[in-house]
Amino acid sequence: MDYEPPFLDTYKTLLQENTGDSKDDFCSMLETFELPMIDLGRLNLEHHEREECLKEITETAMEWGFFQVVSHGISQELLEKMHSEQMKVFYEPFVKKCTEAVFGLSSKTYRWGNPCVTNLRQLSWSEAFHFSMTDISRMEQHKNLRECIEAYATRVANLAQSLAEILGQKVNINSSYFRENCLLKSASIRLNRYPTCPLSPKVYGLVPHSDTSFLTIVHQDQVGGLELVKDGKWVAVKPNPQALVVNIGDLFQALSNDVYKSIKHRVAAAEKVERISTAFFYLPSEVAMIQSCNYREFNLKEYIQQNEQDVKQTGNKVGLSRFLV
């Protein structure tokens, strides 16, 4: 199929050299958990019910670093339309996706695999379109997808701000911090596709990582594959296409003095059926300062530069430990 990235050809030598690798730490049979579910509609009920919901949000975030929400304000119709429009662009010929012709944007918008990979544990068997929100208005093609993204991002940004303010209140972060520093134009969105993988036990769909964001909000299909660390071990997450998955990012961990944790997670390679997801990253402006007791003051631009430097030198993101006091 002309739309598939050439994983087998591109990484042929690497795959042959690593055929005997252990599967111990790769995605395999794991215990499956259903993430804590929070009905945000309770925030609109009487005082007692609202307070219980606020408490549930903060306590779940502290315990898991991940939770899922319903009554989130994004219609199922819009979610399904996003999915449909994503599939159309992912089914464009691979040679076209690799050029600027797909959206009239930078060729760096489209990403697949890992150009710097040296072993199978660094290979992500997936493809993605990653946009900053300022890119969206400049999309010259795929008008329907652009309109979907704009509608979706606007609603999810409001949800992210509300959740950030709730979580921030618990750790004495003034809600004005998020309103002033986390405007929609600072956010980014990533459309993900995980093609079927004939080597699924030996490679990841997306390698283990933590997110740089304040919050990440993900809509996934029914296929499943998301895995995260809980109580020191990897567990699989049961998918729920009606819910949105919310997780704490590195910046919120720093801002909260480690009250909230940015949990390492990954995606199992899709063995029999492709997987689709949409990730919204709630971010501050590049120059907004992250201040806390446990970490030296830094901003997003500095954090990203440090991560990029670490990946080039070590092959991995080091993350927050670089900024500890």
- The residues annotated as belonging to the active site are 275
Strands 188-194 and 275-282: antiparallel
243: helix, strand or coil: coil
Of residues 65, 46, 41, 22, the one with CA closest to residue 201: 22
SS (H, E, C) 173-187: CCHHHHHHHCCHHHC
**Type of residue numbered 142:** H
Instruction: Provide the terminal-to-terminal Cα distance of the chain, rounded to the nearest Å.
Output: 51
Q: Quick one: 162 exposed, middle or buried, by C-beta within 10 A (0-12, 13-18, 19+)?
A: middle
What strand order describes the sheet that includes 188-194? 37-39, 66-70, 244-248, 215-220, 275-282, 188-194, 127-132, 110-112
Distance, CA of 212 to CA of 300 (rounded, Å): 8
Token pair of 70 as six digits: 């319903």
Distances in Å between the Cα of 61 and the Cα atoms of 64, 259, 313 are 5, 9, 33
Residue given tokens 């819910």 in the structure block: 243
- Looking from the CA of 164 toward its CB, the CA atoms found within 13 Å total 30
Please list, residue by residue across 84-108, b when 16 or more beta carbons sit within 10 angstroms of its beta carbon and e when fewer do: ebbeebbebebeebeeeebbebeee
